[in-house]
Amino acid sequence: MDTFIIEGGIPLQGEVTPSGNKNAALPLLAACLLTDEPVVLNNVPNIRDVHTMRALLESLGVSITELAPSRWEIHAREVRPAALDAGLCRRIRASILLAGPMLARSGGLHLPPPGGDVIGRRRVDTHILALRALGAEAEYQHLERRFVFHTRGLHGAEILLDEASVTATENAVMAAVLARGETVIRNAASEPHVQELCHLLNAMGAHIEGVGSNTLHIQGVERLHGAEFTIGPDYLEVVSFIGAAAVTGGSIRIRRAAPEYLGMIRLVFNRLGVTWEDDGPDIVVPAEQSLEIRPDLGNAIPQITVMPWPGFPTDLMSIAIVVATQAKGSVLFHDWMYPSRMFFTDKLVGMGAQIVLCDPHRVIVNGPAQLVGETLESPDIRAGMALVLAALAAHGRSVIRNIGQIDRGYERIDTKLQGLGARIRRATAE
């Protein structure tokens, strides 16, 4: 099992370019099942979750060729419904994204339960209800431990999602583009990766209106054709670099960062005393920022709460908490989506952070605290990256184990941080 060994206290300096958005790459790869023509994707991140999705697609008969680094041709000329590998499905939550396109293309799929990060109970009910509205039948077979999806033909429908789920929205969209008639999806997720999926599908010949809003209008078509598409930058990685620069007192430029997506994220980080400048497509984080939490009116402790997009995303809560440990003042963080998101904070407390766990959904951070190096275990992708930031800010050496979790979502993060001057190295256990 690989580990990161990090010597903290070094201000980051230099330039870095984020990889393609993992959360866009996974549904875009699944969408390639919807046509028998080749689809070319550029800026594909070289990370574990993407390679797991590739293996799942190849098991269905899809041909995938790497034309160049980060440039893939995906050709689903003939799709053969197969028994998907349960071990592969357990590795990523995104395996559920195969249901929508396989219903549209082949009439069904047998799907072992999806996996992914262990951050609380993650429902699939919204997926099933949306697909049933489009004419699919779905059941869970307990003995075989699999979901069975099948249909005699998909049709348009009025769908009101009971939660603005990203992957449920993506599944419904992929099924609806080849369904007969018109589909309206209300309370749809509108994250950048949902928008990118819709843009790819439109480039393939789909008719989707309302992209970027919470109401999508989809007119089904008979077939889709091939296309070429470039995946945008991973805004979660962008903000991770912003946070890393802030907690180390460094100054960095993030190339091709798509700052137009960071509106609410900027507001939240401003409340923690973190600022940055937009320079065209780049972001510049200035050095030695005075991190101080801005109180609410009446000097009340501010509250930072996750919300569906364009609100503050749950996947950045862990990063924001680490930044708050280095800021003067107190702040309450509330993640109502996942009951286990906050449990990683005990590792920060072990490093010297002043954090009160109010309940599984809320913590109060009092800063600033001098963090010291520690041996840590990465529990999931986002908390793992947050621990990397904590180690960069800490005095002394930290060892982070189980970094395979981090590798699932961050491409060559150690190499990129080394390019910014961080003292981080990967050690491979014998």
Supply the angle between the helices 317-325 and 381-393 in degrees, to the nearest 10: 20
Give the angle subtended at the CA of 311 by the CAs of 198 and 303, to the nearest 5°: 165
Q: Is 54 left (phi over 0), alpha (psi -120 to 50) or beta?
A: alpha
Distance CA 366, CA 327 (A): 8
- Report which DSSP code applies to 422: -
312 Cβ partners below 8 Å, 6+ apart?
Answer: 264, 265, 268, 304, 305, 306, 320
124 Cβ partners below 8 Å, 6+ apart?
Answer: 96, 114, 147
117 flagged as catalytic: yes
CB 266, CB 296: distance < 8 Å: no
Supply the angle between the helices 317-325 and 263-271 in degrees, to the nearest 10: 20
How far, in whole angstroms, is CA 206 from its chain's centroid? 25
* Coil, strand or helix at 421: coil
CB 39, CB 32: distance < 8 Å: yes
Residues constituting the chain: 430
- Report which DSSP code applies to 87: H
User: One of 2, 36, 117, 380 is an active-site residue; which one?
Assistant: 117
Look at strands 375-377 and 397-401 and give their pairing. Answer: parallel
Distance CA 62, CA 396 (A): 48
Catalytically active residues are 117
